[in-house]
Every structure is written in C-alpha cells, then in structure tokens.
Amino acid sequence: MHRRSSGGPAAARVVVLLAAALLAAGCTGGTDGPKAAEPGPGRVGASPSPSPSPTPAAPAGPYVALGDSYTSGLKIEPQVGEPRGCARSAVNYPSLVAEALGLAGADFRDVSCSGARTADLTGTQRTDDGSNPPQLDALSAATRLVTVGIGGNDAGFMEVVGECARQSLVQSLARSLAGGAAAAAPCRDHYASGGADQVRGKVDAAGEKLAGVLAEVRRRAPQARVLVVGYPTLLPSDPSACAPVLGAGVAPADLGFLGEKERELNSMLAERAAAAGARFVDTATPSAGHDLCAGTARWVEPPFPAPGLAAVHPNALGQQGMAAAVLQAVRG
C-alpha cells in the first residue's frame, strides 16, 4: 500500500535525484555511456521473442525502419551503424524484425536516430557524434515495408516527464521548508494553467506533422506496407505500485497524469495511421505489466536504470516485445 511522504529532507533528496535522472533521460543522441547490462528475466506469459522463421504473408523487402530513440535502441549493446550519435542497437526491434523475416544487406535499412523528430525524417539531423541524413531518403519505389516510430519528441513527452519531476521537487522542498499540504497533482496543474491542456495541444500539433510525414512516405514508397509503431507502457495503471521505485515524493496523481498523456499520444498515432492508410502497431497493450516500475519484468528502464542502459527507454526485453508486436502486424 502506498504511504504518503512526510515531506521531510529524505523525501526531498529522493525527488532531487529523480528529477536529475529524468532530465538526463531525454531522447538526444550520444553513445559514449558504459556497456549495457542484460535486463533481468521475468516476462510474464509467453516470451516476447519474435519467431525466427518468415511466413508467406511477410513482405520480401526491402524494409526501411524510421524513428527515434525508442526505435534505435538507445544504449542497448551492441551499438552499430553510422553516425554513432544515432545510438542504433543491433538488437533493436527493426533488427529483430528483419532477422525474423530473413532480410539482410540491401533488403534492410535502419535509419532511425535517437532524438529524432518528424522534421528529421525530411531534413538532416545533427547528433553529438555525426549527422544523420534525412531518414526518408532511404525510401524508394522498391521499398516494400516501412516502420515509423516517431512523434514522442515532437510532443515533448520527455520534457513533460522532466517537468513533472521538477514540479514534484518544488512541492517536496516546499513541504520540507514550510510544511503544509501538498498539491494533489502539481504537474497536471502546471500544464492546465491558463485554462488549456498544453500537453494535448502538443500532441495534436505532433499529429499534424506526422500526417505530412506519412503522406511523404506513401509518395516515396507507394508499394510499401507502412506500420506506425506506438510507444510501450511507461507506468502502471495503479500509480502506488511505483512508490518503491520512484519514492514517495512523487504525487500519484501526477503519475496518473503522465499515463493519461501517453495514452493520448498513442491514440493520436493510431488515428493518424488509419487516416493515412497505414497500420498502427499497439505496443502499449502487450507491455502492460512490464512498465518501468515492474522490476525484472520491465520492458522500460526506470529513472535509475540498470548499468549502461537509458533511463525511461526500452531495454533489450522491451525491444523484443516491440518486435513481436510488429511481426504480428506484418504477418496478420
């Protein structure tokens, strides 16, 4: 059962550390971190590992993977490809999908890049270590499969996560220094100031940009099957389950707020995919119960990740689960 913080110095220190970790968890590039540790076992139910054998329904390729750090596999070893600043893993979900479909060489191109926004699909993206050409340049009339994992950075989702950590920090310090009652959801209140849902506005704006990207994908690769890949579940439906991981200084209502906003982001992706004649790949449903507070069963790392892994990003197990969801859509 969740126990409310007394608001003392210890709780404040917990939230200070949480805020620092979340602010460091943005989707920018950079791969000079330590080697990634293997995530622990614990996937409940069937294994998320994709089947190694292709089926007649699978496209023959070429396959092009577009996307941000949730696609590239930020910090998951081994890191491969150029530029190094894109932080592509050899075991990210595009690589696992390509392997399962028997696609290699010229039949598979992963041009995803950590920190990517929709503008980086049509323009050059600078990273901490090299520049990534426009991702859509990898497409051609010969392309037969495209996965698109983009939109979270356009919606500023990691900034929202960091802001919620900051708001919790302010509340914790205020209680520590002056006492008194804390706001039930300081982050929700912050983003509702002025009478408008600021996060929803960013999600809607990201949707407009995604619509343009999907139209351009269709123009450049008219024969391709296009899949828009959603984001895995970050937080459990019961925020109190996160108290052992995030500490008691984070308002449970704000964790609920973050979960609500992620659902809005995925709903926008699904709607835009349908409008463009593409297929949406739901990774939130299969990752339920494997959120960042799920211990060794987690698909997403918490703010204090396993050594070498990226905070608030999928680990190797998460990439396997996302690959399984993509393969189900490809073969369905």
Mean pLDDT within 163-182: 65
Chain Cα centroid distance, residue 254: 19
Q: Looking at the DSSP assignment, which residues form a beta bridge with residue 227?
A: 147, 279
Instruction: List, as one string, the DSSP characters of 162-202.
Output: HHHHHHHHHHHHHHHHH--PPPS-HHHHHHHTTSS-HHHHH
Q: Any idea which residue has 């494997």 for tokens?
A: 290
Chain Cα centroid distance, residue 110: 17
Sign of CA dihedral 215, 216, 221, 224: negative
Strand order across the 279-281 sheet = 108-110, 63-67, 145-149, 225-229, 279-281
pLDDT at 250: 72
* CA gap 49, 169 in Å, rounded: 39
H helices of the chain, in order, are 9-23, 69-72, 93-101, 119-122, 157-178, 186-192, 198-220, 243-246, 252-275, 284-287, 316-331
pLDDT score of 42 more than 50: no
* CA gap 118, 74 in Å, rounded: 18
* CA gap 158, 260 in Å, rounded: 14
* CA gap 32, 13 in Å, rounded: 28
pLDDT at 181: 52
Contact 112, 65 (CB under 8 A): yes
DSSP character for 46? S
Contact 63, 98 (CB under 8 A): yes
Mean pLDDT within 194-202: 87
Sign of CA dihedral 153, 190, 235, 292: positive
Structure tokens at 257: 């707020």
Q: What CATH number was assigned to the domain covering residues 9-37+59-331?
A: 3.40.50.1110
* CA gap 36, 238 in Å, rounded: 29
> Can you tell me whether residue 319 is helix, strand or coil?
helix
pLDDT score of 231 more than 80: yes
pLDDT tens column, 287-318? 999 999 999 999 999 989 999 999 999 999 99
pLDDT tens column, 85-134? 999 999 999 999 999 999 999 999 999 999 999 999 999 999 999 999 99
Query: Is pTM, for the whole model, over 0.75?
Result: yes
> Rounded to whole angstroms, what are the CA distances from 123 to 119, 131, 136, 238, 303?
6, 10, 9, 40, 31
All structural domains of the chain with their residue ranges: 9-37+59-331
pLDDT tens column, 43-67? 333 445 554 444 445 677 899 999 9
pLDDT classification of 171: cutoffs 50, 70, 90: low
Mean pLDDT within 209-225: 98
pLDDT classification of 174: cutoffs 50, 70, 90: low
Burial 86-112 (b: 16+ CB within 10 A, else e): bbbbebbbbbbbbbbbebeeebbbbbb
* CA gap 317, 42 in Å, rounded: 10
pLDDT tens column, 233-291? 999 999 888 888 887 667 888 888 889 999 999 999 999 999 999 999 999 999 999 99
Closest CA to 255 of 222, 233, 227: 233
* CA gap 297, 291 in Å, rounded: 8
pLDDT at 283: 98
pLDDT at 32: 37
Sign of CA dihedral 316, 147, 258, 21: positive
Bin 135: left if φ > 0, else alpha if -120 < ψ < 50, else beta: alpha
